[in-house]
């Protein structure tokens, strides 16, 4: 594994080198992790295929009931048939080639690689929420002498009705231990974006002068540590991180989590991500927060962060529940006004 004070640029040629189906299948044979890194996209494709199927059924049923096929009720059926082409092609796409490219990329750069690791491995929100945690396409190395792990986390949440969630993560060991601090990216507050599992309660917000770029949460009694963490230089650094990640400090580990998969065969992504990681790894020991953190630790432990039970991920379900009846009512009104 790499362990140099000055990092060399990463080699991303493995991501664009050809991989035959035979090579991918041979490398994947006997692996329990086949397809895990692609499960989020496959689930989306199955959802799209289901929507196309519903459109086709609606078109056929309403054509029979209304005794008219085109143009009104033929359109949903036609859209369903044409729209099904993309998810069908995507579901046929083989994911072992992705894993093989990641494995070759790690070997080219002297990184350690594991197709699958059981368990969460860390103690952040996404890692402790839910059950059946597993990590996939895990790349481990050292940057500026600090241990770094990059991978994709998969877990199950929910009660009677369960959901499989997946996110990307970067885990970086920092200089010392900090109280529990969460940095939520500004774009997560948009209605269409899903927040981290059990996001911190609004009462835990600490104003650090970041504006709308990101929001900082700290447990009661740790506000001074949070403010010391975000000097002018770090505010700009965390603005760059917030383009892609939420950030969480748990003891001596800095966790970056993203809606998208962090470990994926994308040259531009790895170049940008490793630039961000190297910037943090090179500067973290000089952050002015450590003196404040040591003083806080001598004063005793801080309570845990309060969390909110409301999740923005339910907004999509609510929107769907409202949209479907409205769309049906509009379709019925249009049908009633047709000449046939």
CA distance 141 to 128: 24
Helix (H, G, I), strand (E, B) or coil at 75: helix
CA distance 296 to 221: 9
pLDDT, position 328: 52
Helix (H, G, I), strand (E, B) or coil at 213: coil
pLDDT band at 21 (very low <50, low <70, confident <90, very high): confident
pLDDT band at 34 (very low <50, low <70, confident <90, very high): very low
Buried b (16+ CB within 10 A) or exposed e, 126-152: bbebbeebbbbbbbbbbbbebebbbbb
Helix (H, G, I), strand (E, B) or coil at 86: helix
pLDDT, position 76: 63
User: What average pLDDT does range 188-207 have in this prediction?
Assistant: 68
CA distance 148 to 254: 10
pLDDT band at 217 (very low <50, low <70, confident <90, very high): very high
Is it the case that residue 146 has pLDDT exceeding 50?
yes
pLDDT band at 29 (very low <50, low <70, confident <90, very high): low
Output the CA torsion sign for 176, 180, 183, 188.
Answer: positive
Task: Yes or no: say if 175 and 299 are a contact pair by the CB < 8 Å rule.
Answer: no
Contacts of 300 (CB under 8 A, 6+ apart): none
DSSP category for residue 115: E
Q: What is the pTM of this model?
A: 0.74
Question: Hey, which of 57-61, 139-143, 298-302, 305-309 has the most confident mean pLDDT?
Answer: 139-143
pLDDT by residue (tens digit) across 242-298?
Answer: 999 999 999 899 999 998 899 999 999 999 999 999 999 999 999 999 999 888 888
Which of 171, 126, 115, 123 has its CA nearest to residue 147?
Answer: 171
**Number of CB atoms found within 10 A of residue 204's CB:** 23
Task: Yes or no: say if 124 and 257 are a contact pair by the CB < 8 Å rule.
Answer: yes
* pLDDT > 70 in the chain, percent: 67
Q: Which has more pLDDT, 164 or 260?
A: 260
pLDDT by residue (tens digit) across 292-318?
Answer: 988 888 877 777 787 776 444 444 455
pLDDT, position 297: 81
User: What average pLDDT does range 16-26 have in this prediction?
Assistant: 83
Helices (H) and strands (E) in the chain, counts: 11, 7
**Number of CB atoms found within 10 A of residue 171's CB:** 23
CA distance 55 to 61: 10
Q: Which has more pLDDT, 234 or 1?
A: 234
Residue 329: which H helix or E strand, with range? helix 314-336
CA distance 250 to 196: 15
CA distance 330 to 333: 5
Angle formed at CA 172 by CA 169 and CA 235, multiple of 5 degrees = 90
């Amino acid at each position: 594994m790499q362990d140099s004070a000055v990092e060399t640029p990463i080699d991303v040629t493995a991501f664009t080198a050809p991989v035959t189906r035979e090579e991918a299948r041979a490398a994947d044979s006997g692996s329990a992790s086949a397809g895990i890194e692609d499960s989020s996209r496959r689930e989306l494709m199955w959802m799209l295929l289901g929507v196309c199927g519903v459109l086709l059924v609606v078109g056929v049923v309403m054509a029979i009931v209304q005794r008219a096929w085109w143009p009104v009720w033929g359109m949903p059926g036609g859209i369903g048939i044409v729209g099904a082409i993309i998810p069908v092609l995507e579901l046929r796409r083989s994911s072992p080639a992705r894993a093989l490219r990641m494995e070759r990329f790690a070997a080219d750069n002297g990184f350690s690689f594991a197709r699958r690791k059981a368990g969460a491995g860390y103690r952040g929100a996404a890692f402790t929420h839910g059950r059946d945690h597993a990590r996939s396409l895990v790349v481990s190395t050292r940057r500026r002498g600090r241990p770094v792990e990059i991978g994709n986390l998969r877990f199950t949440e929910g009660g009677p009705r369960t959901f499989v969630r997946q996110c990307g993560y970067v885990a970086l060991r920092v200089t010392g231990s900090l109280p529990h601090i969460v940095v939520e990216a500004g774009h997560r507050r948009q209605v269409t974006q899903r927040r981290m599992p059990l996001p911190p309660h609004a009462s835990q917000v600490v104003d650090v002068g970041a504006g709308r770029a990101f929001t900082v949460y700290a447990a009661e009694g740790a506000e001074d540590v949070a403010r010391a963490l975000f000097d002018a230089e770090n505010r700009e650094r965390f603005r760059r991180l917030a383009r892609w990640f939420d950030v969480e400090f748990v003891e001596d580990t800095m966790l970056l989590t993203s809606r998208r998969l962090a470990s994926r065969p994308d040259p531009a992504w790895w170049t940008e991500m490793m630039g961000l990681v190297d910037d943090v790894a090179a500067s973290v020991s000089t952050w002015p927060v450590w003196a404040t953190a040591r003083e806080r630790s001598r004063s005793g432990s801080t309570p845990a962060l309060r969390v909110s039970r409301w999740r923005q991920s339910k907004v999509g379900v609510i929107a769907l529940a409202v949209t479907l009846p409205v769309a049906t009512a509009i379709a019925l009104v249009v049908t009633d006004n047709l000449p046939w």
